[in-house]
Amino acid sequence: MSDSPTHAPLKGPARIEAYLKTLPDAPGVYRMLNDKGDVLYVGKAKSLKKRVTSYARGAVHSDRLMRMIADTAEMIFVTTASEIEALLLESNLIKRLKPRYNVSYRDDKSFPNILLREDHAFPQLLKHRGAKSTKGVYFGPFASAGAVTRTLNTLQRAFLLRSCSDSVFESRTRPCLLFQIKRCSAPCVGRVDEAGYAELVREAEEFLNGKSRTVQDELARQMNTASDQLDFEAAARFRDRIKAMSHIQSQQGINPTTFSEADVIAAYQQGGETCIQVFFFRAGQNWGNRPYFPRHPRELSTAEVLEAFVAQFYDERPAPRAIFLSEDIANRELIEEAFRLKADHAVEIAVPQRGEKREIVEMALTNAREQLARRTAENSAQRELLEGVCELFGMEAPPKRIEVYDNSHIQGTNALGGMIVAGPDGFEKGEYRKYNIKSTELTPGDDYGMMREVLTRRFSRLVKESGEDEAKAKWPDLALIDGGPGQLSVARAVLEDLGVEDVLLVGISKGPDRDAGREHFYMTGREPFRLDPKSPVLYYLQRLRDEAHRFAIGSHRKKRSKAIGANPLDEIAGVGASRKRALLQHFGSAKAVSAASLADLESVGGVSKTLAKKVYDFFHPTG
């Protein structure tokens, strides 16, 4: 149940006390809001009444909490059946709302896994993200897509399992390149039968389940047998597979012997900032690690930050059977029980004190300390660069958000605009945007018209968001335009039309012969100028411009490749890979299929009259 907030002039303890009359002595979650409706804090309580009383009656609080209480204009409450439910709801709301006074961090939602499919006679081995809806065996999580890719490449050499899609598998008439370089056993063309391939699948499963020694011993036995029989070619194949497996193990670093499945989470704090390292261990193997830098009030202790992180980290992902921490947390048993209910298996949260487990926790802690030191150094250098940008362009303060715009096309085709974003924390790739050029009135290759459309769409949206929900609007302090005075003039006209006055526009163009280091800068009311080729600020601005160019070119290439590979037959329901192949082999091209009569379509082998009618109607919608 919830208590709907009502607008009132009261703020602070007096406003909070007004809620006490109706609050139950029951577990639940509360939200504290300021007079603008922004969520300041989300908390859970075993007793909502007692917790809110402590805020209203002037209990001893830190300066941080006193500021939070003073800003509170409204509260929202949700009662729950238990404290565990309150914990789960609190974690979910913090991740979604990211309140100012809570610990929060940028979440990747899902980690990549390796999937061994079981819905095909010749299972495919592939990288997988998201819901585990495909029938098969999942191995993971891995810390990054790069870790999965490296492991998959080596698994291909070790077990020769196919990675191609079903449509490619069905259309092969001869072995592909992967077979030639000994990364696939070519089941698509019968180079291995179903029983032989099943044996490879069994070995891969055992290896990924931690039975690597058993698999290697078996392959070594087969290698020796082949060598004794003077079948040196077969022996060499077994040798190469053993080497590939050894390569995976050598890349994994520490592989524990005292536990099989666990996440190791270590937190290190310095200067009011915290780095948390998460190491993933599954099937007795190290599947990578990743650092996190949660945002939190500086006054919080390492243990408080660690507890909040752990609760949120497993909000949308199942917890492993063991979680080893670098230090203890206050609500450890409550969190264990919450994780057990979600994962449907026992979850142990422990702080190892000795032995191998402690050594691995110390290793994670060392990584966290070193990562935080690197980040602190990088942030210091970044601040200096932004201060240099501020001084160079005559800004009142260092920019917190820089947007850089670039366009890409080939003779006007597949035209696309790109926007990248940078700030105090470096490139903010989650804020990048691409704009497919929609105008039909532009002359192909009209760079000025493309820039006008991109900037109009971007800043029109900002103006609209500022009117509807100012918190959503993310205004740049500085907009860099890849181009000279012409592009700058277009950008200035767009912002003037929209009434935007507080965004600094700067054009940046390559110098003679497009030499890096000889860039010209253009600003309204100032003569074009250049910087010292050795200037760190120039190097920083070049990086911004080059990143925008990379993003625009990459997005353009994806768009062009998609257009080249598009086939209208893919849009017809019921036309799968085999029927598409039959139609193309019969008629020679999709264009010929579109011109075929209904009778001709019905004559194609494997195409029923019903499907032929679907295909015909697709290309002749008025017929």
Q: Does residue 32 sit in the same domain as residue 63? A: yes
Last residue of a domain, one of 97, 129, 160: 97
- Inter-axis angle of helices 536-565 and 355-393, nearest 10: 110
Q: How many domains does the chain have?
A: 5
The parent domain of residue 599 ranges over: 568-619
pLDDT at position 215, please?
75
Identity of the amino acid at 94: I
Average pLDDT over residues 549-560: 75
554 with 577, same domain: the answer is: no
pLDDT tens column, 165-217: 888 898 888 888 888 888 889 999 999 999 999 988 888 888 777 776 777 77
* Coil/strand/helix, residue 473: coil
pLDDT score of 219: 76
Residue range 216-245: average pLDDT?
Answer: 79
How far apart CA 589 and CA 581 sit, in angstroms, is 10
Average pLDDT over residues 2-11: 56
The pLDDT tens digits for 383-418 are 899 999 999 999 988 999 999 998 876 554 567 888
**pLDDT of amino acid 89:** 93
User: Above 80 in pLDDT, residue 250?
Assistant: no
Q: Check pLDDT > 80 for residue 444.
A: no
Write down which residue in 223, 251, 279 finishes a domain. Answer: 251
Q: Residues near 477 by Cβ (< 8 Å), separated by ≥ 6?
A: 395, 397, 399, 400, 401, 402, 503, 504
For residue 1, pLDDT over 50 is answered with no
Q: Is the pLDDT of residue 422 over 80?
A: yes
Greater confidence, 30 or 225? Answer: 30
> Is 380 part of a structural domain of the chain?
no
- On the question of pLDDT at 263 being above 70, the answer is yes
Q: What separation, in Å, do the N-terminal and C-terminal C-alpha atoms of the chain show?
A: 58
The verdict on residue 204 lying in a domain is yes
Is 60 within the bounds of a domain?
A: yes
Q: Is 341 helix (H, G, I), strand (E, B) or coil?
A: helix
Same domain, 461 and 442: yes
Q: Given a cut of 50, is residue 2 above it in pLDDT?
A: no
Q: Is the pLDDT of residue 218 over 60?
A: yes
412/457: higher pLDDT: 457
Residue 527 clears pLDDT 60, i.e. is over it: yes
> DSSP readout, 345-400?
S--EEE---SHHHHHHHHHHHHHHHHHHHHHHHHHHHHHHHHHHHHHHHT-SS--S
Name the nearest CA neighbour of 579 among 602, 549, 546. Answer: 602
If asked whether residues 494 and 429 sit together in one domain, one would say: yes
Predicted pLDDT of residue 404: 94
Looking at the structure, do residues 361 and 406 belong to the same domain, yes or no? no
Q: Residue 6: what pLDDT?
A: 46
Place of tokens 């459309």: 453
Q: What is the pLDDT of residue 519?
A: 86
Question: How far apart, in whole angstroms, are the C-alpha atoms of residue 96 and residue 104?
Answer: 9
Residue 499: CB partners within 8 Å, gap ≥ 6? 463
* Cis-peptide into 424, omega within 30 deg: no
Please indicate, yes or no, if residue 34 is contained in any of the structural domains.
yes
- Between 332-343 and 302-313, two packed helices, what is the crossing angle to 10 degrees? 10
Model confidence at 499: pLDDT above 60: yes
Domain check: are 424 and 522 in the same one?
Answer: yes
Is residue 158 domain-shared with residue 68, that is, in the same domain?
no
Same domain, residue pair 206 and 299: no
Are 408 and 361 in the same domain?
Answer: no
CATH of the domain at 579: 1.10.150.20
CA 161 – CA 7 distance, rounded (Å): 63
Domain CATH code at residue 546: 3.30.420.340
Nearest to 535 by CA among 549, 517, 521: 517
Considering the entire predicted model, what is its pTM?
A: 0.66
Q: Picking from 155-159, 470-474, 524-528, which range would have the lowest pLDDT averaged per residue?
A: 470-474
Instruction: Look at residue 539 and tell me whether its pLDDT is greater than 80.
Output: yes
Is the pLDDT at 94 greater than 80? The verdict is yes
Residue 290: which H helix or E strand, with range? strand 285-292
More confident residue, 150 or 25: 25
Give the CATH number, domain containing residue 54.
3.40.1440.10
What percent of the chain clears pLDDT 90, i.e. is strictly above it? Answer: 34
Between CA 288 and CA 294, with CA 293 as vertex, the angle to 5 degrees is 120
Tens digits of residue pLDDT in 295-310: 998 889 999 999 999 9
Average pLDDT over residues 67-85: 92
Q: Is 383 contained in some domain? A: no
**Cβ count near 297 (within 10 Å):** 18
In a domain, 272, yes or no: yes
Inside any domain, residue 391: no
Domain end among 373, 394, 420: 373
pLDDT band at 101 (very low <50, low <70, confident <90, very high): very high
Residue 480 lies in a domain: yes
429 & 548 share domain: yes
Residues 576 and 611 in one domain: yes
Give the lowest-confidence range in 102-106, 435-439, 480-484: 435-439
- The residue that leads in pLDDT, 236 or 404, is 404
How is the beta sheet containing 136-139 ordered, strand by strand?
A: 125-128, 113-117, 136-139
Q: Say if residue 442 is in the same domain as residue 512.
A: yes
pLDDT, averaged across the chain: 84
Rounded Cα–Cα distance for residues 372 and 358 (Å): 21
More confident position, 276 or 462: 276
